[in-house]
Structure 1
Amino acid sequence: MRIIFRFGGIALLVAAIVILAVLPFATSFVEQWTRRDVELRSQLVFNSARDQVVSLLARDDVGRLAGLFERIASDERVLAIGYCDGEDLRSPTRNMPASFTCAQAARSDTQSFSTIAAEGRNILVSSFPLTVAGREGHLVVLHDLSYADRRGGQARNYLFLALAGVAFGAAALAAMIAALIMRRWLASIRQALENARAGAAGQPERENMIPLGQEIRDVLQELEASRRTIDAAHTDWSPDTLRAALANELSGSEVIVVSNREPYIHNRAQNGGIVLQIPASGLVSALEPVVRACGGTWVAHGSGTADRETVDASDRVPVPPAHPSYTLRRVWLTDEEQDGYYYGAANEGLWPLCHIAFVRPIFREQDWQLYRAVNEKFADAVVAEAKREDPIILVQDYHFALLPRMIRNRLPQATIVTFWHIPWPNAETFGICPWREEIIDGLLGSSILGFHTQAHCNNFMDAVDAYVESRIDREQDSVTFGGEETLIRPYPISIEWPPTALEGQKPVEECRRVVRERLGLPLDMRIGVGIERFDYTKGILDRMQAIDALLNEHPEWKGNFAFVQVAAPTRSKLANYRQLQEEAEALAREINERHGSAGYEPIKLLIRHHEPDEVFELFRSADLCIVSSLHDGMNLVAKEFVAARDDEEGVLILSAFAGASRELSEALIVNPYNAHAMGQAINRALTMSQNEQRERMRLMRDQVKERNVYRWAGQMLLSASRLRKRQRIRRLIASGRKRAPANA
């Protein structure tokens, strides 16, 4: 019994030491957290009022500015607010401390925070830079920090009581454990004595123990570190950041990417040589920088005429050619497979079904059989490339709806992240697909299934709810099907930052001159650009009709504005795509005949593939860019135009039906089906002041810079990391339960 009390006393002593050691740190943590909370509140106040403050200051409307400041200061947490014009404090609110001056605020080119003492209390001064009519100033927001001291005291008291309770509980638990150990020890001695008395002492039984509790604690700590990494609001995502995140969270993991389109195509040139082409694909432009950053293997269809000549005996080629950083594994398809899987089931069936662009989807059973066979072929390739039984596999797009389930059946421990790059339609529309249950089953083989927007996630879960038996958790955004859980998540895709294509670009003025000379346009000609593939979802005809409407309603732009439409031919085997190109050429001729003149064509239609550096040169030379998608998952052209404009000028006209409109709200958002309204938006873009252009472009560039492709990939891969750690915990617990009867 004395030993039991000794264990309890030691536990109480240790707990008391821990309490004394932890309390100061806990109090400091609460105070720092409270201060950070106040800083975030200040940022929220500034973001909400910035535009109004700038507008009122520009008009020198002192009365309305004072009223706005008083309304903001009515918040119980805001002490006072004012505007520092140099050293002059303008429009301070009634509660502004009499001793406060602008010299006390820590002012800089970026937001800053400082603490001052005034009237017997600590005050947090938040300073935010503003530019009004070319003059620099700062909006200052003051918060009373006295409540932070009160919160710290309360936290200290609560923590003391909580730790004391834990200490007594720990002491009691220690005493119970000691009693159990003593009882077991005494029983073993008694058994040994009995064996010795009988003359047949046996060997002690070896207990099969595992450090289960410690392993779970280690995993939970790793999981918390992962959460902090992925949720960090101010992380500047770059290739180095992504590599560091993967090294910390997925060290030693194998990454395999699967897509139909390959990132590098080798074609046979007319002179007999081999030329390298980077395809005009949003998927490739988004994913290739990520694979360069994390390495691994990319499995894709080898479509180039010289692809077979450039691979090794295992159909692999290191890429990028100049500085190889990962392996491209090519999969070969017959013409019959390509026609049925790619042109048929994928692009005549799933593509129009998901885009709802008024083109009837075509479903052929033979196409579906080939689609299934090609998915099997890619599953075989992935398994052959996997060097571990638990790789991370990133499956890309609607070409591989069945692939996740096929891989899951072969590699049950793999972490499969599938990203659907196109929209997902509502459940009623998806219901017309004759293979709807098989598609849903295939996708639910994924560990994580990603879409561009939350709306697409909701549509998918509605389709699951309507067509298969499953358990849907709307709160956690997950689907449990066949005993396996799939997380459904929005991951808005983006581009690399800074873009590689921006390297080596000439200054904007030089780009404007070079492009106009190349197109035979006067140097003072205003131009707009549109750049995409010939696809009926991109709204190419609709934007041409908008140009027609502009010139009809604003004839002053005739001879002063030209629209450059770059369109790369694609899927030319399909009648809808050939017909679109023919209609676009005919419509451009018609508009040029109606509004053009000798030496002037309002629409320049350039039908060929443009390399990324050519595209960025066009972007930098343009006064505006039109993205008029009739339905689009994201549309990276819009983000590339924003990234190209490091001069912070130019106007983006963006369709409300492109996923990018959810992020780039400072663009001129239009309905592409309304030619008149689009024409008015073009006129507004052409007459927009440079100051307004810069304000809009600066905000959009900040958005694209912060939410770049490395962040997109990092979110998915770190989500995979967190999922793998949860699965480890489940396996450890399950293992512990299995071992429990043996140890009882």
Structure 2
Amino acid sequence: MSRVVIVSNRLPVTVERVEDGVRVVPSVGGLATGLRRPHEQGGGPWVGWPGDLGGLEPEQVARVEARLSDLRLVPVHLTQEEVQRYYQDYSNGLLWPVFHSFLGEVPLEMGGAAEYERVNARFADAVAATARPGDVIWIHDYQLLRLPALLRERLPDARIGFFLHIPFPSSDVFRVLPNREALLEGMLGADLIGFHTASYMRHFSSSVLRVLGAWTDVDRIRWRGREVRIGVFPMGVDAADFAGTAHTAEVEEEFRGLRQDGTHLLVGIDRLDYTKGIPRRLLAYERLLREHPELRGKVRLVQVAVPSRTEVGAYQQFREQVDGLVGRIHGAFATPTWSPIHYLSRGLSRPQVVALYRAADVMLVTPIRDGMNLVAKEFVAVRGDGDGVLVLSEFTGAAAELAEAVQVNPYDAEGTAAAILRALEMPEDERRTRMAGLRRRVTRYDVHWWARTFLDRLRAPAAATPPHGLEVSARPAVEGARARLRAAPHATLLLDYDGTLVPFAPTPELARPDRELRDLLRELARHPGYSVHLVTGRQRDTVDRWFGDLGIGLHAEHGYWSKLPGTAWQLAASVSTAWREPARAILEEFAARTPGSLVEEKSAGFAWHYRTADPDFGAAQAHDLMLHLSTVLSNAPVEILPGALVVEVRPQGVDKGKVVARAAAASPEGSLLAAFGDDRTDEDMFAALPPGAISIHVGPAPSRATLRLAGVPESRAFLRGLL
């Protein structure tokens, strides 16, 4: 296999001065950890800056160089002026705030562009000198945006990948950069460009279109005779390593100390950076204590703020702001026996961090902008106990994946305070349901999956480029339908669930029936004039658990299973299962490369949900998924159906239309049938209704139904009006 050459601004080591000289030790952090295995297994060098060696004696520098060589690390030495201009002024002073959409932090004088170009060229020379034919070169992050194109000039046939670890801003924001064309052209020197989220990828594509006028598609860009692939690769954490650390002796000792006072523990761990939202988090906490005095003495916030870029004036001012807010909260609420906040302005050891993750009742990850935020995933990885609540900013890249978190707008202090209160009062079963969903994704799509997936895509040859109703019913019509049902000697109600009786939730397990709905269905079932049948794509066990005690007919997985009141579940049809494994493999592949999507496996078939995926990217992936499934399963006895942000694969002959006849047969002769639904699968039910029946579509999608209601509240109101 080809070697992997990794390139980043910093090498994954730190040079430390000790009594007997110097030593080279591994660095900690997401990038260093995430790329350690590809470096170890890939066999190639890692190129980067080793840090400032200016204060070392010549023989110490030689020892460092020898150690770096042993570790297959290739240093690019920078002068103090280059560090200041390329790294501090341009990369951190200009690119960082622009890419995070903080235009108020952009300096009046945008200097350092020449040094940025020069240092990127130095990196290109270093990589070209060490690379071999057939190597795969993987470049990382915003400090090296120009490097792919500069390297392409030196190595025209090289396979080059680039990954951006921070957000890519909207095209309107990106265009404030004076050398915007050069930065985009630099990135387009790569064969594959990766982003954490579909939103960042879409912003990049839009900027390329608007700034360079290049042809763009969902996942590729044509530029100067080349096709550059772009993709979404959400970075994970080493979940197994964090889980293994969680119960070491060091962590246990720290953990016991944290849980001694019996208060509910809120935890925030951040770099001291204006993107992390610490002041707004503190304002939300202050509001919580002010509006809910019953929490005083019962809750405590541990806020860790690791100093960062202390030499930059803006960061010094930011620290003063945070210090002032911490003091204000202490002054307003502290008592001789209780401190509302424990503020640490320093780094912690890994055991201390992991102990905080374990001890936290609520983890607060509320940046106002963040490319991914691995702290959220580290917290989830540590929580093998299945408990704890993650409060997560919707402006993090992680929010695209971690749908079960309590997501907040960090600019809304009132809303954030309410979310913290909700997290503190959340029932245990909901906490565990949410954490189980979070852990499934974090443990499966870890940092090793991220690196492996990107490199596999980079090594793979580029795929061939593909070739290029009814309005809401007026009130009289609705009232007329309801009057017909009430006047009929008997009526049979066929009710879809998701999108018809309950609103959609980020993940299927969160769309549980509330007490109001259960009471409504129970009352309808007890009414002598109605028979009620729930017709849903949900799994049999879920349907039985939620509705089995209501005395209604249950039809799960689009009618594959049916159960009339007082009877056992009956299998509607015997179907072939030979197609399931290839279908599962395809669906899992699409779930892996579409953040926010998931595969639901049923006894009859599968559902690929993309409700929490980026809307545009999810829709494009759904289209591609259906084409792929149609090709692979062309000879299989299955149907592939689009739904409301879902693609379903089910056996032929299994559909909701078959339920109509079963429900009618179980009802008194001449019963008036009425069907309610919201998506494509319900159209089978509408089509199977006899003449004179009532069909009601809920929501805006096209439908053959004769009536349309605006949404779930209107659907429930209609049913309530039948009583």
Q: What TM-score bracket applies, with the shorter chain setting the length? A: 0.5 to 0.7
Among 698, 715, 721, the alignment partner of 2:459 is 721
Letter in 2 for 1:639: K
2:196 and 2:235 in contact (8 A); partners too: yes
> How far off its partner does 1:496 sit?
1.6
Among 164, 172, 184, the alignment partner of 1:420 is 164
1:256 and 1:297 in contact (8 A); partners too: yes
Aligned partner of 1:585 in structure 2 is 323
> How far off its partner does 1:350 sit?
0.8
Partner deviation per Cα, 1:451-501 (whole Å, 9 max, x = no partner): 1111111111111111114332x15x2112222221111111111231257
Aligned partner of 2:112 in structure 1 is 367
> How far off its partner does 1:363 sit?
6.7
What do you get for the CA RMSD once the two structures are aligned?
2.6
> How far off its partner does 1:550 sit?
1.1
Aligned partner of 1:436 in structure 2 is 180
Aligned partner of 1:291 in structure 2 is 39
Partner deviation per Cα, 1:277-305 (whole Å, 9 max, x = no partner): 65554333333344334342211211155
Where in structure 2 are the equivalents of 1:117-132 lying within 5 Å?
none
Aligned partner of 1:257 in structure 2 is 6
1:282 and 1:635 in contact (8 A); partners too: no
Partner deviation per Cα, 1:293-336 (whole Å, 9 max, x = no partner): 434221121115588877757935359xxxx8x52222211111
Aligned partner of 1:480 in structure 2 is 222
Among 629, 639, 652, the alignment partner of 2:390 is 652
Residues 489, 290 of structure 1: CA spacing in aligned structure 2 closer, same or farther, 3 A cutoff? same
> How far off its partner does 1:362 sit?
2.6
Quick one: distance in 2 between partners of 1:611 and 1:491?
A: 29
Aligned partner of 1:379 in structure 2 is 124
Where in structure 2 are the equivalents of 1:152-167 lying within 5 Å?
none
> How far off its partner does 1:403 sit?
0.4
1:355 and 1:423 in contact (8 A); partners too: yes
Quick one: distance in 2 between partners of 1:685 and 1:290?
A: 38
> How far off its partner does 1:273 sit?
5.6
Aligned partner of 1:542 in structure 2 is 280
Quick one: distance in 2 between partners of 1:667 and 1:502?
A: 23
Quick one: distance in 2 between partners of 1:317 and 1:374?
A: 24
Where in structure 2 are the equivalents of 1:666-685 lying within 5 Å?
666-685=404-423
Letter in 2 for 1:267: E
Residues 488, 504 of structure 1: CA spacing in aligned structure 2 closer, same or farther, 3 A cutoff? closer
Residues 309, 368 of structure 1: CA spacing in aligned structure 2 closer, same or farther, 3 A cutoff? farther
Which has the higher Rg, Structure 1 or Structure 2? 1
Where in structure 2 are the equivalents of 1:397-412 lying within 5 Å?
397-412=141-156
Aligned length: 463
Letter in 2 for 1:492: P
Residues 311, 649 of structure 1: CA spacing in aligned structure 2 closer, same or farther, 3 A cutoff? farther
Among 341, 366, 391, the alignment partner of 2:86 is 341
Among 211, 236, 245, the alignment partner of 1:503 is 245
Quick one: distance in 1 between partners of 2:352 and 2:254?
A: 13
Quick one: distance in 2 between partners of 1:554 and 1:275?
A: 52
Task: Look up the SS of the partner of 2:363 in the other structure.
Answer: strand
Letter in 1 for 2:343: L
Where in structure 2 are the equivalents of 1:200-211 lying within 5 Å?
none
- For the pair 1:693 / 2:435, whether they are aligned, the reply is no
Aligned partner of 1:389 in structure 2 is 133
Residues 404, 296 of structure 1: CA spacing in aligned structure 2 closer, same or farther, 3 A cutoff? same
Among 601, 606, 623, the alignment partner of 2:361 is 623
Among 343, 368, 381, the alignment partner of 1:643 is 381
Among 211, 214, 217, the alignment partner of 1:470 is 214
Quick one: distance in 2 between partners of 1:309 and 1:267?
A: 15
Letter in 2 for 1:390: G
Among 265, 270, 281, the alignment partner of 1:527 is 265
Aligned partner of 1:492 in structure 2 is 234
Task: Look up the SS of the partner of 1:541 in the other structure.
Answer: helix
Quick one: distance in 2 between partners of 1:565 and 1:278?
A: 26
Task: Look up the SS of the partner of 1:723 in the other structure.
Answer: coil
Task: Look up the SS of the partner of 1:288 in the other structure.
Answer: helix
Task: Look up the SS of the partner of 1:258 in the other structure.
Answer: strand
Aligned partner of 1:50 in structure 2 is none
Task: Look up the SS of the partner of 2:431 in the other structure.
Answer: helix
Residues 454, 647 of structure 1: CA spacing in aligned structure 2 closer, same or farther, 3 A cutoff? same
Quick one: distance in 1 between partners of 2:387 and 2:205?
A: 41
Quick one: distance in 1 between partners of 2:386 and 2:451?
A: 27
Quick one: distance in 1 between partners of 2:264 and 2:64?
A: 53
Aligned partner of 1:124 in structure 2 is none
Residues 327, 309 of structure 1: CA spacing in aligned structure 2 closer, same or farther, 3 A cutoff? farther
2:15 and 2:25 in contact (8 A); partners too: yes
Letter in 2 for 1:340: R
Task: Look up the SS of the partner of 2:290 in the other structure.
Answer: helix
> How far off its partner does 1:650 sit?
1.0
Letter in 1 for 2:199: A
Task: Look up the SS of the partner of 1:714 in the other structure.
Answer: helix
| More displaced stretch, 278-287 vs 350-359 | 278-287
Task: Look up the SS of the partner of 1:542 in the other structure.
Answer: helix
Quick one: distance in 1 between partners of 2:113 and 2:352?
A: 38
- For the pair 1:315 / 2:65, whether they are aligned, the reply is yes
Quick one: distance in 2 between partners of 1:575 and 1:590?
A: 23
Percent sequence identity is 36
Letter in 2 for 1:514: R
